[in-house]
A and B are shown apart, each in its own frame.
Chain A
Amino acid sequence: MKHIILSTQVSAFAIAASLALTAGSANAQQAMKEGALGVQNRSIGYVMVFENRSIYQAKDAKTQCPTALNDGPPEQFKKLYPDTGERTVEGTRLAWEGELWNPSAKELNVPYYEVQGKVGRGMNLDGKVGPNDYVDPDTGEKGIDNQIYRTVGCTFNYRDGQTSTLTPQWRRATYNIFVIELTNVDSLQNDDDVTVTTYRGKDRLITDATGNEYLPGGSQTLDTRWGKRYITAFKGKIKDGVLTTEAKDLIMPAASVYAPRDGAPDIIYRDMRFQLNLTDTQANGYMGGYADVWTWYYHSHKTRDSRHQAYGGTAGPTLYRALMKNADAFPDANGQNTAISTALDVKFVHVFVQHPGAQVAGMVNHGTQSAEAAATEARARE
């Protein structure tokens, strides 16, 4: 159990770190060596190119979900509001909408299936081995905290290869570009004191000729103006090429791929931390923490239309109740936990980080084309 007050404001430490980094980069105007993708000036950047919930998939789904996968909205609607003769809009469609967007606490007389068994992937967030924790199928590590896996592991939408919102396309959307910058780095193999700062990036990702694979060596300009809430600095260390960080609250940009202006909320994670295998070109591994239940639930419904909910077997009313039942951290005044443990499978590729106001290394500046003018020209080309 955690008892930390959630703040959506970036910490003073993060701001200070960001400003310091900006100042440092501004001095590094000498052109860089071509193809040098590793640590430069004791820093290295990566941009997220893949994100998915850590949902362990047994070879046989029946071992995890012996009864069935969960019903979707059409099936659940029929069970909740059976055709017994005279029905009203208020008692059926409006009631469903009410349960979807303002779920009540009352019991619903429909089944909801959770993952069975003790095997699951993710991270041990609290350092303990509890009765509801999982064992990692690959490493045998015990104490894996991943109650979102328990909650949605038998829902088609969240199983591998299905219509989950957290797909490669998710981070391709410009608003959702998520950048981490490692600073104070002496070595990507072993360094007991590095800083990992998160940002929203503003530039398109660079893909290969197929458009499906993301390439290292691109550049990302950081959004330090409107994206302040996404800036968080983590202290960390690198051991044998694996980065681990402290746990801190983190807000991640999460606009809908399908309707980016549709008011989808950010996703708020409590006590988030990184565990990444680092190379000069990639950073792959886990991000783990506790997802704020309401924003996680609201986001999942706000970013997918009814078609995806129906195809993916995701019925909001029962999902919300399951999330609240399995939430395992950050209780409110009534003792109800408000956050649920989770882990994300993540992949990053190397990116050159450009702090606003800092000149690009090697750029010839005649003072004739401001960054804004360059951006305008770029928009015109698009």
Chain B
Amino acid sequence: MSSKVRLSSLLRGSAIGLAAAFALSSCSGPTGTEGAKTAAGKQVAAVQEPESSGAEPRLRLITRDQYLNTLAYVFGADVRPDVEFAPVERVDGLLRLGTSRAGVNDTQLELYQKTAQFVAAQVIEPTRRNFVITCKPVNEKAADAACASQVLNRVGRLMFRKSLEKDKLDELVGHANSAADRLGDFYAGLAVSIEEILMSPKAMLIAEKAEPDPKNPGHMRLDAYSLASRLSYFLWDAAPDEALLKAAETGEIQTEKGRARIVDMMIASPRLKDGLRAFFDDMYDFEKMTTLAKDALVYPAFTGLTAEDAREQTLRTVTDHLITKKGDYRDLYTTRTTFLSPPLAALYQLPTTKGWIEYQFPESSPRAGVLTHISFLASHSHPGRSSPTLRGKALRELLLCQPVPRPPANVDFSALENPKAEHKTQRDRVNFHLENPVCAGCHRITDPIGLAMENFDGSGRYRTSERGATIDASGNLDGKQYTSVVGLATALHDHPGLTSCLVKRVYSYGTGSQTTKDDAEMLKFLNARFESAGYRVPDLLRTVALSKSFSEFKEAAPAAAEAKTASAAPATH
């Protein structure tokens, strides 16, 4: 493909016409005035969903994990190509938002093609074909249109996230038959068309479409298939399964009751873990863990395996706490329960056994919550030393949604890079920031937080001193004083920004849209619901998934509704 397709344009369905704004006060239902029960069984107070501009349809590039999770559902978990897709831009704290700004170049297309080829070859292997290929050809050495049609219809439907049109199915079957006859092998012919499906733009791009909302004149809504996809990528990080597609086909998903049934089914599914893992992996900026490296001389115990397991430790802790234990989101930052693997235990210098174990740090331990996980501590440090600034910045930006300005271009780092001998600890060294008015403005909001984590070195290992000097881990978070990282964890737990940031991220992630000031009332509503639900994340997911703004939007001026290609408008990034 010589041109680069730009995905930032919005797709819209045709509008029937504008009408007066729909009176949301007449709404009722799972997110409306009737209230609902939370995952913990608590009755949530009735709060009205406010009117909002809603989230418009998007055209997004599928992510690696979404692709792999879908392949696992369609072909089985053992069909898992070892592949990395090109990184996308992080937008407003989420990679997910960047997928609608991504481009596809020739190299990526080649990667998609190779991946599709690999998967197709795996699918027709004699040991696997009985799982996916549910029919037997009359003759394995020749084309069999009936059997090919049956298989390709199922695979195409799941990969394209909607039923195949007859013309498209006929085309795929024709290709399979032609290849089978030429190769003298039904399965080899089938692989050609499976490969075609797997690398099709219909599979690799998630194109949401809108239609006029028959119940709300002047409003648009996602069509049934688009809504199924949005829900599925939000909650499962995968394409819709058979049940969702069926609900889309029958129109059940567009009914209030039907949508509630489906969302409840999805939240009760074990696949919710995949969705939640994907969300927190994105929100915690864990993509950097794949390339995280430490100076082997300074931190010999930190290896590539440590980084991989550190990421897994936190994600396991998140899903265990939020889903299995139905815990309060805020407690994620103070809980002493986590998981250990042998490479991690060696860094923690704690006993363990094979595989992963659930582990409880004692009350006397300096470890409490995600801030004290190796994933957070190591990924927000330098290769050879810790960094109070990076850690403080990460806490502000990732967990409180408070962007920290970049350092000025002419900043002098020499005081940090070549510290004075008497500056033994990081506190001594970063105090330089506060003496310099150019630096002090920003560092006042990062360093006091990060210094509380100085009892952990750049690899995340616990320490009480640095170069012979006892570490002072005191500080404050927006006026709340503490003397250790456990105190910081408690301050973060009680910080109002912690939950409101999660709400903002979840809403953005689910709708695929960056929040604006127009979403203020909606976020306020979601925050109130989240609080009423005892800060249970599955309840928040449910509220977002059932909200009108998740699937409906007001039609804007028609000028925005067009798609562009690079030949017409070159990509800007």
Contacts and interface: CB of A to CB of B under 8 A. Distances in A.
Interface of A: 30-37, 202-204, 206-210, 213, 215-219, 221, 352, 354, 360-366, 369, 371, 373-378, 381
Contacts of B345: 217-219, 352
Nearest to A353: B351
Of B347, B352, B365, most A-chain CB atoms within 10 Å: B352
Of B345, B354, B361, B362, most A-chain CB atoms within 10 Å: B354
Contacts of B349: 34-37, 216-217
Contacts of A207: 303
Report, nearest first, the 9 A-B pairs whose CB atoms are least far apart. Answer: A374-B355, A352-B351, A208-B300, A209-B296, A378-B355, A364-B358, A217-B349, A206-B346, A35-B349
B301 interface: yes
B357 A374 contact: yes
A217 B367 CA distance: 18
Interface of B, secondary structure class, is loop
Of B303, B353, B356, B364, most A-chain CB atoms within 10 Å: B353
Interface residues of B, number: 35
B371 to A, nearest CB: 16
A140 to B, nearest CB: 36
Contacts of B346: 206, 215, 217-219
Interface in B440-494: 461-462
A360 B301 contact: no
A363 B359 contact: yes
Interface of B: 294, 296, 299-304, 337, 342-343, 345-362, 364-367, 461-462
Contact of B351 (A209, A219, A377): A219
B350 A352 contact: yes
B382 to A, nearest CB: 16
Contacts of A218: 342, 345-346
Contacts of B337: 364
A219 to B, nearest CB: 5
Nearest to A361: B351
B350 A208 contact: no
A206 B299 CA distance: 14
A213 B348 CA distance: 18
B353 A377 contact: no
A210 B354 CA distance: 22
A372 to B, nearest CB: 9
23 contacts: A31-B360, A31-B361, A31-B362, A32-B351, A33-B365, A34-B462, A203-B354, A204-B342, A207-B303, A208-B303, A209-B303, A215-B346, A352-B352, A360-B359, A361-B350, A363-B352, A363-B358, A364-B359, A364-B360, A369-B357, A371-B353, A373-B355, A378-B354
A217 B301 contact: yes
A173 to B, nearest CB: 17
Nearest to B365: A34
A366 B354 contact: no
Contacts of A364: 337, 357-360
Contacts of B367: 34
Of A36, A218, A221, most B-chain CB atoms within 10 Å: A218
B343 to A, nearest CB: 7
A376 to B, nearest CB: 8
A209 B350 contact: no
A30 B364 CA distance: 12
B355 to A, nearest CB: 3
Nearest to B367: A34
Contact of B357 (A37, A363, A376): A363
Contacts of A373: 355
B303 A362 contact: no
Nearest to A380: B355
A365 B362 CA distance: 15
A216 B351 CA distance: 11
B365 A31 contact: yes
B343 A206 contact: yes
B352 A360 contact: yes
B296 A208 contact: yes
A136 B459 CA distance: 43
A207 B360 CA distance: 25
Of A218, A362, A364, most B-chain CB atoms within 10 Å: A362
A377 B367 CA distance: 26
Nearest to B352: A219
Contacts of A32: 350-351
Contacts of A221: 353-354
Contacts of A213: 300
A362 B336 CA distance: 11
A377 B360 contact: no
A220 to B, nearest CB: 9
Contacts of A376: 355
A377 to B, nearest CB: 4
Nearest to B294: A209
B462 A366 contact: no
A45 to B, nearest CB: 9
A360 B357 contact: yes
Contacts of B352: 219, 352, 354, 360, 363
Nearest to B299: A209
Contact of B462 (A35, A208, A354, A361): A35
Nearest to A45: B351
Given A210-B296, A360-B357, A362-B359, A34 B351 contact: no
Contacts of B351: 32, 219, 352, 354, 360-362
Contact of A375 (B294, B299, B355, B366): B355
B356 A209 contact: no
B17 to A, nearest CB: 57
